[in-house]
Amino acid sequence: MLPESFNFMCPSKTGSGFRALDQLPSDLVAINASHPLIITDKYCSGKYTKTIENAFKCSEMTLGIYNGIKSNSGIETVSELAKIYNNNGFDSIIALGHGRIADIAKILNIVVSGKPDDLKELAGVDKITSPLKPFVYIPVLNSDGREATGDAYLDDEISFSSNFLMPNIVCIDPRIITEESPYKVINSAFRALTIASESYTEGDNPLSGAYEHIAIEFVMTNLKNVVENSYKEKKRFSKLNLDTTESKERICLVNASIMSGYIYSNKPQGISEKLGYAISKKCRVEPGIAMGIVLPYSLEYKANRKNYDLEKFMLPIAGLDIYCSTPAGQRFDSAIGQIRYLQNEFYSITSTEVPRTLEDAGLDESMLSEIAKEVACDDYHEATCFFILEHAFYGKPVLP
Amino acid sequence: MGNFATLQPGGRPLVRFYLAFMLWFVGRAIQAAALVDPNVRKEFNDLPDDFSFSLGAAFNGPQMAIGKDSNGKVKYLGKNSNIVPQVKITIKSMEALFLLFTFRESTPVANSRERMTVEGNLSHACACVRILDIVQVYLLPKPIAKLAIKRYPKWSLKKHTINRLLINLRAIIGF
Amino acid sequence: MHLPEYYEFCCTVKTVAGHDVLESIPELLSKMNSKKTMIITDKGVELAGLVKIVTDAISENIEIGAIESDVPPDSDVRVVNNLSKIYVKNGCDSIIAVGGGSVLDTAKGVNIIVSENSDDLMKFTGAGALKRKLRPLVAVPTTSGTGSEVTSVAVIADPERNKKMAFSSLYLLPDIAVLDSRMTLTLPDFLTSQTAMDALTHAAEAYTCLSKNPVSDIHAINAIKLITENLLNVIKNPTDKEGRLALATAANIAGMSFSNSMVGMVHTLGHSIGAVCHVPHGTCMSILLPYGLEYNMHKTGEYTGELLYPLAGDKVYSKTPKSKRPEKAIEYIRDLNQKLCDATDGRHPVCLKDVLDRDGNMMVPEDKLPEIAKTALGDGSIFYNPEELDFDDILKVLKFAWSGEKLDRSLWIHKNSFKNQESL
């Protein structure tokens, strides 16, 4: 049954696949932009500048490229960029890369769309009230989806959240989605899986259902192959990127991350997501991986203790045919089983680099109660959080 | 400011030359087909007099235009025609036009991948696309033409041989 | 899931749905810096008392600058110009469109004029003519079919120049679509069934036509599921609020789906029957859908087969062997049409010859079919159909749809394109 009321919005246009970048010049013109500034880091500019340049050939556009983003870039970088942007008369921003790059690009957009002293005033939730300059995001394989959200972090004190910060265009091109370390890929994919799954199992919002479904299905059907491929001996010519199946699998993962970003901008955070962030602060494990560890237990808790009917969860996890041929009653357990199977596989494929449980992750058991206290909220009291964490620590399923 | 640079992507002279040549040839072939092929003639007859349409790439890419004069005669108008075409088919980038003319993407596929825009009267545009389809069958060998259109037509031997020869000859010689 | 080599998806509309969400309009408008709004609607909607519900929901911090119900069934440029003057004169800064497709098209036209500060709509036809965001526009649909609250096109007639102007731009998408179950509660049964089948057709075509993509696919499946699970209940029990909301939502996500994946021959033929014989759009859609799926089956049978899940449920789907699913899915659509026909005392016709006007005359005489076929060749949606269609093909399909017989697919085998039908 549908909820009493529900809503959804995704202001971004997604273009994904073969020669996506070639469409970008005319898509930019359509949103009244013709002089974009590309923001990226040294790694991406070294690898992909040529591809971007080729895509803009014959467009008669001049591009600016700034490749000085570092993981600790902050307000000074934003000011430097604002100077460059204004002095050269740019009219739009393209962020190429992941994480920090997108944060800085979004904050730059706030600065160049209004007054320079806007930043402090506009910090917080929904303080921006009108559209900013055209903003395009070009993801890479380890984009975790946060880039496509309306959130931007400057530092621990100042952060921004507004739908106006979401990109106008997300352009997913196979030439940019090249291989990455399996650990990073799994981290992004598990983050996408967690956000999508928690949203999918919380109420029946048919407006966001498509995005959730796609993110879940793409991670479940492609992640293992992508990870395995990165351990395979490289064939000759592999640098030419000729294998379209492998490229397509990577594209699917990036699609999943981007979709999770869209979902994230429309929903409150789920419990696994919160726990994941809290755990990653306490031990050396990335948030996405930690979310993935907690996810099966929190979903089991929902299904077995809160009595949510989560049989439908198997549809995106296993696909239409397997879902229909599995008898009702077995579907939820089977879906959770598939997530666990994937995690256990990664544990062995990556030679224990990717943990299966919080114990594997090197978390100290004494930390559990501290994390539970930190994350506790109205829906999930401290005791509940602790209960989920404890099960995730030992890898012990939550039974009815 | 060592981190900042400006890029001037430039053009692709060879690709541009190839596309200009292909458009020129297709344009002249349409002019020839309007004389030789009854279906193409019929499509043109149903279009209003003084009708014209253009096909080309965005951002000042190569273009070609075809028009009917007041006597109903179909003419290839070249690349720099001064008239404003009533139907304008624009491929979003020269790269996409190159995919189209190297037969890696068919017209329907390019259309479904949002690589082209059509301006003007849609029902006239439909006729233009049908004309282009027929001409492609004349110009291309069957295996390639099959990639370019949805359904390969069943034609008589005469169409496949004599008409095809005539259209290709006329397109080359230009009358 | 099918991932095309390249796809695009875009729907910038914020959709707000529920049983009493009209009350959220003032807050949403204030967020867009609007203070005075204009309501555009038509006579029918006003008479049904729906405008009153909307105005009651609008609280003090938003002023209503004007309520105009002067929108004809086919949007007209003179009305657009007229309404634009009222908008400017009354100092409005946003529009709420309450109604179906023509109301929304008119509102989109007004919004172009007042935002671009121009008096000539003609300048903004064609691709890429609009370059920036227009003024705030809120769409409140009162039927559950067209999905026009999430489409980026508008068609406005110019009777003086005897022309239909087509506008297409992402900037034409409304900012907000408000789906409130109260807006469709009074829709009569035959209109409910027609509009719902219109939405189902959008979804089924979106799922099987050339621009299908992951987002449009799942939206389509979910839309069909909502319709098949609720439509017959709502026809029997018109005040079923839950069911009404489900149908409105289905139409909305089917709209998002087809406006991103485009539609094929069912719309090609449907538009033409509408143009030549003035048959309501939803009626054409429900009659033609099975034929469109049958005609394309050798190319898209696999996708049609997957539609069996939302049409018939998981049990039937898993019981039916893969090769039989496409036909079974089509059978379910025909069956649904028949049930709707019975439930509305024949006011939901299942073949073209049964379509009657108010006086009981046949609306589509058989001798009109060639004219319809000719018109169809000029409809843009023909490009997105998976299989080629020429005049003869269209005429043959129309004849079957006229008599109500199943399509005899063997008629096309000689065209050698149907030879791979067994390879499913």
pLDDT per position as a tens digit, A300-355: 999 998 889 999 999 999 999 999 999 999 999 999 999 999 999 999 999 999 99
What is the least distance, in Å, from the CA of C16 to any CA of chain A? 4
Q: How far apart are CA A52 and CA A44, in angstroms?
A: 11
Q: Between B5, B6, B92, which is nearest A26 by CB?
A: B92
What is the least distance, in Å, from the CA of A62 to any CA of chain B? 5
SS3 C368: helix
> What torsion, rounded to 10 degrees, do the Cα atoms A316, A317, A322, A326 define?
-100
- DSSP assigned state of B160: I
The residue that leads in pLDDT, A124 or C162, is A124
The ranges assigned to domains in chain B are 13-173
pLDDT in tens, B103-153: 888 888 898 898 988 888 888 999 999 999 999 999 999 998 888 888 888
* pLDDT given at position B72: 84
Which residues in chain C have their CB less than 8 angstroms from residue A18's CB?
Answer: 5-6
* pLDDT given at position A239: 59
Q: Is C382 on the interface with B (CB under 8 A)?
A: yes
What is the least distance, in Å, from the CA of A44 to any CA of chain B? 13
> How many CB atoms are closer than 10 A to CB B66?
27
Which residues in chain B have their CB less than 8 angstroms from residue C388's CB?
Answer: 149-151
Which residues in chain B have their CB less than 8 angstroms from residue A88's CB?
Answer: 6
Residue in chain A nearest C20 by alpha carbon: A5
Lowest mean pLDDT of A51-65, B86-100, B158-172, name the range. B158-172
Q: How far apart are CA C126 and CA A33, in angstroms?
A: 19
* pLDDT given at position C420: 43
Residue in chain C nearest A171 by alpha carbon: C8
What is the least distance, in Å, from the CA of B61 to any CA of chain A? 7
Helix and strand totals (H; E) in chain C:
16, 8
How much is the CA Rg of chain A, to the nearest whole Å? 21
Q: Between A15, A131, A211, which is nearest C8 by CB?
A: A15
What is the least distance, in Å, from the CA of C378 to any CA of chain B? 4
Which residues in chain C have their CB less than 8 angstroms from residue A321's CB?
Answer: 318
CB contact under 8 A, A320 and C12: no
Residue in chain C nearest B107 by alpha carbon: C383
Only one residue has tokens 């279009």, namely B47
CB contact under 8 A, C379 and B122: yes
What is the least distance, in Å, from the CA of C101 to any CA of chain A? 21
* Contacting residues for A293 by C-beta, under 8 A, at least 6 apart: A276, A279, A343, A355, A356, A357, A358, A361, A392
pLDDT in tens, A344-387: 999 999 999 999 999 999 999 999 999 999 999 998 999 999 99
HEC string of C386-421 equals: CCCCCHHHHHHHHHHHHHCCCCCHHHHHHHCCCHHH
SS3 B100: helix
Q: How far apart are CA C110 and CA C101, in angstroms?
A: 14
Only one residue has tokens 């030992």, namely A394
Token pair in block for residue C82:
């007229």
CB contact under 8 A, C380 and B151: no
Query: Above 90 in pLDDT, residue B78?
Result: no
What is the least distance, in Å, from the CA of B60 to any CA of chain A? 8
Helix (H) or strand (E) holding B67: strand B63-68
Neighbours of chain B (3+ CB pairs under 8 A): A, C
The residue that leads in pLDDT, A51 or A114, is A51
Query: Above 50 in pLDDT, residue A164?
Result: yes
Mutation pick from A207, A226, A244 vs chain C, by most beta carbons of C within 10 Å, is A207
Helix (H) or strand (E) holding A5: strand A5-17
Q: Is C391 on the interface with B (CB under 8 A)?
A: no
Q: Is A330 on the interface with C (CB under 8 A)?
A: no
SS3 A182: helix
| Relative orientation angle of helices A331-349 and A182-200, to the nearest 10 degrees | 170
CB contact under 8 A, A214 and C15: no
Question: Binning pLDDT at 50, 70 and 90, where does residue A270 land?
Answer: very high
Q: Is B82 on the interface with A (CB under 8 A)?
A: no
Stretch A33-42: mean pLDDT: 96
The ranges assigned to domains in chain A are 13-172, 182-394
CB contact under 8 A, B126 and C382: yes
Helix (H) or strand (E) holding C280: none
Residue at C249: amino acid letter: T
Provide CATH code, domain C14-183.
3.40.50.1970
Q: How far apart are CA A198 and CA B46, in angstroms?
A: 58
Interface of C with B in 117-146 (CB under 8 A): 126-128
Among 1.10.730.10, 1.20.1090.10, 3.30.70.1400, 3.40.50.720, name the CATH number for the domain at C189-423: 1.20.1090.10
- If phi > 0 it is left, if psi is from -120 to 50 it is alpha, else beta; for residue C356 that is beta
Q: Is C162 on the interface with B (CB under 8 A)?
A: no
The chain-wide mean pLDDT, for chain B, equals: 89
The chain-wide mean pLDDT, for chain A, equals: 93
Question: Binning pLDDT at 50, 70 and 90, where does residue C418 land?
Answer: very low
Q: How far apart are CA A69 and CA A106, in angstroms?
A: 13
Question: Binning pLDDT at 50, 70 and 90, where does residue A235 land?
Answer: low
* pLDDT given at position C414: 53
Please give the class, per CATH, of domain A13-172: alpha beta
Token pair in block for residue C336:
């649904």
> What torsion, rounded to 10 degrees, do the Cα atoms B21, B56, B92, C4 define?
-70
We find that the CATH architecture of domain B13-173 is: 2-Layer Sandwich (3.30)
Report how many Cβ contacts below 8 Å link chain A to chain B: 77
Helix and strand totals (H; E) in chain B:
8, 6
The residues facing C38 across adjacent strands are C66, C95
CB contact under 8 A, A22 and B7: no
Which residues in chain C have their CB less than 8 angstroms from residue B150's CB?
Answer: 386-388
Q: Is C25 on the interface with A (CB under 8 A)?
A: no
The DSSP code sequence of A46-108 is HHHHHHHHHHHTTTT--EEEE----TT--HHHHHHHHHHHHHTT--EEEEESSTHHHHHHHHH
> What torsion, rounded to 10 degrees, do the Cα atoms B78, B80, B81, B82 define?
-170
What is the least distance, in Å, from the CA of A13 to any CA of chain C? 4
Q: Is C86 on the interface with A (CB under 8 A)?
A: no
Q: Between B8, B61, B95, which is nearest A62 by CB?
A: B8
* pLDDT given at position A116: 65
Q: Is C170 on the interface with B (CB under 8 A)?
A: no
Do A172 and A254 touch, CB atoms closer than 8 A? yes
> How many CB atoms are closer than 10 A to CB B13?
8
Question: Binning pLDDT at 50, 70 and 90, where does residue C42 land?
Answer: very high
Token pair in block for residue C248:
């409105």
Q: Is A22 on the interface with B (CB under 8 A)?
A: yes
Neighbours of chain C (3+ CB pairs under 8 A): A, B
Query: Above 90 in pLDDT, residue B161?
Result: no
Query: Above 70 in pLDDT, residue C422?
Result: no
Summarize chain B as % helix, strand, coil (round to 5). Answer: 50, 15, 30
Which residues in chain A have their CB less than 8 angstroms from residue B1's CB?
Answer: 80, 84
CB contact under 8 A, A84 and B95: no
The answer to whether domain A182-394 has CATH 1.20.1090.10 is yes
Q: Between C8, C415, C416, which is nearest B114 by CB?
A: C8
Query: Above 50 in pLDDT, residue A77?
Result: yes
SS3 A144: coil
Q: Between A22, A53, A80, which is nearest B93 by CB?
A: A22
pLDDT in tens, A114-134: 876 778 888 899 888 889 999
* pLDDT given at position A241: 59
SS3 C306: helix
The residue that leads in pLDDT, B173 or B41, is B41
